Structure 1
Amino acid sequence: MVDPIEAQTQSTTSTKSNVSAAKALHEIAKKKLSGQLTIRDPNVDSIYWRIYVGNGQVLYAGSIGGQQERFRYLLQQNCPQLEFSQLEKPQSDYQYLCQCWQSGRLSLQQVRQLLFLLSQEAILHTLTLPEVQLGFDKKIGLDPLLLSASLQQTVAPLQNSINQWKQLQVDIPSPFHRPFIKELEKFAQAVYQRKTGKPQQIDFLTQTLSQNYCLYEVATKLKMDILKLAIFLQPLIRADIIGMNPYRSSQNDNRPIVACIDDSKTVQRNVKLILESSGYRVIEIMEPARALTTLVRDKPSLVLMDISMPEIDGYELCRMLRLSSALKEVPIVMLTGRDGLVDRIRARMVGATSYVTKPFQPQQLLSVVNELVNSSQIEAS
């Protein structure tokens, strides 16, 4: 597998699980790279961190997934005078702050300071992850560019907080996890014994922890620093009084589904990293013989399919999907190392909608997926 940082001359996203975020950032600063570093914790679904860099400098860092909850908390902590309204899709927290500057709600100096503080907080959490999957894309994708800070300047003040979050990692995998009360009576007793606050404050804490909020939301409601909140909750988690749920469950996951049928783990990881960090849910199918049952059950918005697979090749599987009444209208994109005209014609003849040659650039794959998914949604409505 290609190291995504060492392969800086390629415009393709690769993943690697045994390279730490710290090492990746060090290499970026050392080699003065420009682009986007996407960081995923394989143990936390649907949350990605993205660090934008230019010439080795930090331009911005934020989260993909959980953006509203995190941004609201950070604004309350760092800029409480700013009246926050909901982010609108496809608006990001970065775009929101740029608009605040352009509209005169915040000065350029205030926006730069906020961007720096938000970036610090994001990088802090990437540096606490024990295992990561990394992707690097040479396209920066920020406009306008308002911040440029050295990695040393950004990370040096964070060391104490990084160490504290690392100690919390076993019990609190991420600030997006959702705490809930498992034993109400034991919780009330434990909080009372710790003399946390007045009865009405304890009642408010109990109510807040009963709303299925993530840690960012709980900290916002309590107007409390999230690290202090996590430290407060940790002994209650270890005593089995508080439980922790992941940020998002499959029951309320309304992201468009993309099925990837490919027997290569490397391709599956790359596709997942590119698409899930852009708002899709990716279903990995390693055995093409079982694809039909999975696709009918999960009803994807689009299917990515390798041509060269054991048991059933992509051409035959594509033909089978087109015979299914439930799947005949689903866009199918063939992923293949073959780039001949005959292969493209054959793919079209069996019903493929489009064709992407491996290795593909992240933006190339994303553009094809966005176009086909949007088109199919418009036709469906």
Structure 2
Amino acid sequence: MKLSSFLLPALAGVVTAASQQTEGYLLRKSPDFKSQGFPHISNDVAQAIIQQRLGANQQLPQDESSISLMNSVGVGSRPLFHSADEPNQLVIVYKGVNDQSAQAFRDVMHLSPAFYSDDMTTAHLASLPASGRCSFEESTDPELGKCWMGSSQYLEYDVTKTRDAVSKLSKNFERLQSLAEASKMETMIVLVPSTSDATSELRRREFGVKAEEVLTEESTTGSTDSSFSKPQTSDLKTHPFVAKNGVLPACFKSFNTCMTDTGDCSRHGKCTLKYKNTDANAGNSECWSCLCHFAGTYEEDQRHPGSKIHHYWGGQSCQKIDVSAQFWLLAGFAIVMIGVLGGSIGLLFSVGEEKLPGVIGAGVSRSK
């Protein structure tokens, strides 16, 4: 009886949440997510994808399927020797969407969803700085510096309060598509149903109350069977999307370790298998490291448009610009100049210390 009373609220919450799902749509030039279908993702993965696109720190999922999904739907790693002009990122979240308004948004976009989420909430997105001082047209235009801070923009609208949300998106959707096709800005549009936050919160509360009742009864009867197990310390470990502090090793044991410890190579490279030790005595160990991408080409001097310099990312996690070429060029030039200067001074001293030859003395002596 207790078990059934514990499961019924959870099943009711699942049925209620299944009636409306969070839908995520993506506007970009290369929709790689089409090859993977339209996956159902959890709230944590959806939050990580949104925050990754905004360049914020978040927990990086550990399993390979979630990492692969983030690389597909999120901001993926750039290929080698790719231009440094990465597109701006715009995330628009519409809350309080019902069936009627959701269909209106679909009629405007005419797109297939990039992902679905049954328990997507916006509670964790409250800390993101949403732009509220500009109009919708200005906030979605990356060329307006007064409305954009950096290369990302987060917009959040409550459809129940913003009645013209669909019409504003309809007027500017063609421009958003043009910016995506030109690789100037990628746009993610998320439709959060009105019952998502309330249902998720109610489901969590009911689940916690029932779980507490079951645990109390089992502890009273002395039963050894436990329906809940204490999570392991490794399960509670967070994986930030930035590289760890301190000195990173030159080799990582696995692809996942390289991804989590380097924060996907700071999004400036990719984890590759450097070598694999096939010796049985060594345990067939692998060495994974970051292969840094080409940072870009910049004009060295505005007065000379043809003068350009190439930059590459460097470091164990590709977290900084590689200036080793410039360093060795300056260091080599300095060493050569010091050598030339030292040799010239030494030559002057050696010539000055030599005695004048006797022929010169005879030529200047007075004849008798």
TM bin (shorter chain): under 0.3
User: Could you say which structure has the larger radius of gyration?
Assistant: 2
TM-score, normalised with respect to structure 1: 0.23
User: Greater relative contact order: 1 or 2 (C-alpha under 8 angstroms, separation 6 or more)?
Assistant: 2
TM-score, normalised with respect to structure 2: 0.24
Q: Give the number of the structure whose residues are more often strand, by fraction.
A: 2
